[in-house]
Structure 1
């Protein structure tokens, strides 16, 4: 009788363990959503705010932090960035007076560190790439050699989101309803000129 009781206890513990493991796996259902908000036009392109949202319930992005990359659709380049930086400048020798931040056709971008000077920050940036569940990380970039209207601007392609010991697969960009923003005094609503979404889904632990 005692051995039967012990066996039942073991069975209950194993069942509970399987249930909690399944629950933990299920709780990580979600994704990393990248939002590319085109905010204003410039003489040869536009300024955009790019935001990564961690919609995963339990999976954090830890140090040394996230990176993301994409391939430009045409011959775009990055004039300047705030809140993040491209890991390579590339060959900018064709520019004589003003040197771009990056001339790479497939740039890789990384978040800045928490002690970054305030004039190089925007809201929700500069966390060293750490991105906890339910939070967001953002940066701003000025894109040159790009279209200067909603008919000529092209979204980058082949997005990749990279995180320590995690592999993600990103889908194609989708043109969605422009994001709306509320001013600091909460008395005025503004809107992005164009907005694209890219969804990146966790594949496996690296």
Structure 2
């Protein structure tokens, strides 16, 4: 009897946890939207601009800033990053030359500091991870072993977005309409090769 009761309690807690996460993703209080824009193909992968938009009306991401992570679905590596960095390189022992920035199957990234040299920055990067409502934070990433066409490229999955004393729940990676870009002189429009979106909503304070 006690065993049955314990099992019922565990199932109840699991169901409540799932319900809470599901409800969080339906929140109408704004969200953090991560946009992954593929901008060019490379011999073994692609270059993408990754942007986190803070669509929350009254919640900032304070110092020491946001942390973003995901899982690769195969043997992808990060050749280089501009405007951010991974917290660990991972096991790159199979490379003798041209060492990747990260070989981790689950890389974790953080923003760079405002003091970062300008030649290592891109637009909207390097704020120390601080992200105020209505603003965005971006970095550029070169990914290898990732597929080099719209038919072979693989999306990263299982995104996590964290901030000081804030817990977020992220939804699945979705293939959406490619982002359109307008040049500075507003005379030409280009578009991303592909765009993936991930929506993360505030779950609870920690």
Question: Take 2:112 and 2:29, find their aligned partners in 1: how far apart are those partners?
Answer: 28
| Count of aligned positions | 179
User: 1:5-44 alignment to 2 at 5 Å?
Assistant: 29-44=29-44
Question: Take 2:173 and 2:65, find their aligned partners in 1: how far apart are those partners?
Answer: 23
Q: CA deviation at 1:46?
A: 0.2
Q: Determine whether 1:119 maps to 2:119.
A: yes
Equivalent residue number for residue 132 of structure 1: 132
User: 1:31-70 alignment to 2 at 5 Å?
Assistant: 31-70=31-70
Question: Take 2:29 and 2:132, find their aligned partners in 1: how far apart are those partners?
Answer: 14
Task: Give CA-to-partner distance per residue, 1:148-190, whole Å, 9 cap, x none.
Answer: 0001101100000010000000000110000001112221111
Equivalent residue number for residue 153 of structure 1: 153
Q: CA deviation at 1:123?
A: 0.4
Specify the SS of the correspondent of 1:119.
helix
Question: Take 1:117 and 1:35, find their aligned partners in 2: how far apart are those partners?
Answer: 25
Q: Which runs of 5+ in 2 are unaligned?
A: 1-27
Question: Take 2:185 and 2:87, find their aligned partners in 1: how far apart are those partners?
Answer: 36
TM-score by structure 1 length?
0.86
Question: Take 1:79 and 1:185, find their aligned partners in 2: how far apart are those partners?
Answer: 32
What RMSD, in angstroms, separates the aligned Cα atoms of the two structures? Answer: 0.8
Q: Determine whether 1:189 maps to 2:171.
A: no
Equivalent residue number for residue 172 of structure 1: 172
Q: Highest Rg: 1 or 2? A: 1
Task: Give CA-to-partner distance per residue, 1:7-50, whole Å, 9 cap, x none.
Answer: xxxxxxxxxxxxxxxxxxxxx81000000001100000000000
Specify the SS of the correspondent of 1:47.
strand
Q: CA deviation at 1:93?
A: 1.0
Equivalent residue number for residue 198 of structure 2: 198
Q: CA deviation at 1:82?
A: 0.1
Q: CA deviation at 1:85?
A: 0.3
Q: CA deviation at 1:103?
A: 0.3
Moved over 6 A (4+): none
